[in-house]
Amino acid sequence: MGRILSWVLLPSALIRRISSPLVGEEEYVWYWVTLTPLFGVPLIFVTAFASIGNPAGILDTLGGEEGSTGGFCYLVLAFLLGLVGSAASFFLLPRDKPPEGILLTVFVLFGFLSSVSWIINIANEIVTLLVALGFAMDVSAEILGLTVLAWGNSLGDFVADVSVARAGAPKMALGACFAGPMFNLLLGLGMSLTIQALKMPDGVVDLTNPSGNQPLGCHQMNIVWACFGFL
């Protein structure tokens, strides 16, 4: 069963391997890391422009409107930059050991951006599936986001906090229970609203909720539950 699953996951693992460089002592393979700019740079470009849109008419300056000639031109530009990066990696990267110094910093930063791009794309697909599920079950996407998506998103924090508490640091685990969601709220909501504001012509984001006060009620229940947790 495990071998069948590994064959099923092989295409996605291969795509991740050639787009996200692994430069650790045990994971470093020269030819894999050399290929990562060729595929990773277009991934970052496409994800960035798909998330932010067309700020300052960048696509227009490349030859046309978004989705037509300009979109094709910036995609070709991304592949050319990736090709240059792969060529430079071919000559600069050591073959028998991981890179050091400035090269290591560059590839670590590149790997971070590539990983973030993968997370954004996977999150977009999950949201699309939730919207389709809500449409099929006649449930609003906001309610699914506050329940199914929120529970799944909290599983990692739950396991980590329980492990920290069992390791003898209950105060640290308690602080992480509130600091983690606060960080996600400030950074996630702040970046989301900033990106959405860049897409708007007047820079104003409409926060009108078509579902009424249901999400607000769920947030209020969470706050009350958190207050009782301190008792």
pLDDT in tens, 199-215: 777 767 666 655 555 55
For residue 63, the model assigns a pLDDT of 45
Q: Report the range out of 64-73, 143-152, 164-173 with the highest average pLDDT.
A: 164-173
Domain membership flag for residue 223: yes
Residue 155 shares a structural domain with residue 175 = yes
Residue 123 shares a structural domain with residue 149 = no
As a whole number, the mean pLDDT across the chain is: 76
Query: Comparing C-alpha atoms, which of 119, 186, 198, 121 is closest to residue 156?
Result: 119
List of residues 6+ apart from 62 with CB closer than 8 A: 69, 70, 73, 74, 77
Domain membership flag for residue 9: no
Tell me what the mean pLDDT of segment 123-150 comes to: 78
Residue 97 shares a structural domain with residue 22 = yes
Residue 143 shares a structural domain with residue 119 = no
Q: Which domain holds residue 180?
A: 139-201+212-231
Domain membership flag for residue 163: yes
On whether the CB atoms of residues 49 and 60 are closer than 8 A, the answer is no
Global pTM value: 0.64
Q: With 60 as the cut, is the pLDDT of residue 188 above it?
A: yes
Q: Which of 138, 165, 193 is the last residue of a domain?
A: 138
Domain membership flag for residue 1: no
Tell me what the mean pLDDT of segment 55-59 comes to: 46
Number of domains in the chain: 2
Residue 81 shares a structural domain with residue 95 = yes
Tell me what the mean pLDDT of segment 6-32 comes to: 81
Residue 196 shares a structural domain with residue 120 = no
For residue 52, the model assigns a pLDDT of 61
Cα four-point dihedral sign 206, 212, 213, 214: negative
**Residue that has been written with the tokens 């991934």 in this structure:** 43
Q: With 60 as the cut, is the pLDDT of residue 117 above it?
A: yes
Structure tokens at 75: 């995609």
Tell me what the mean pLDDT of segment 34-63 comes to: 69
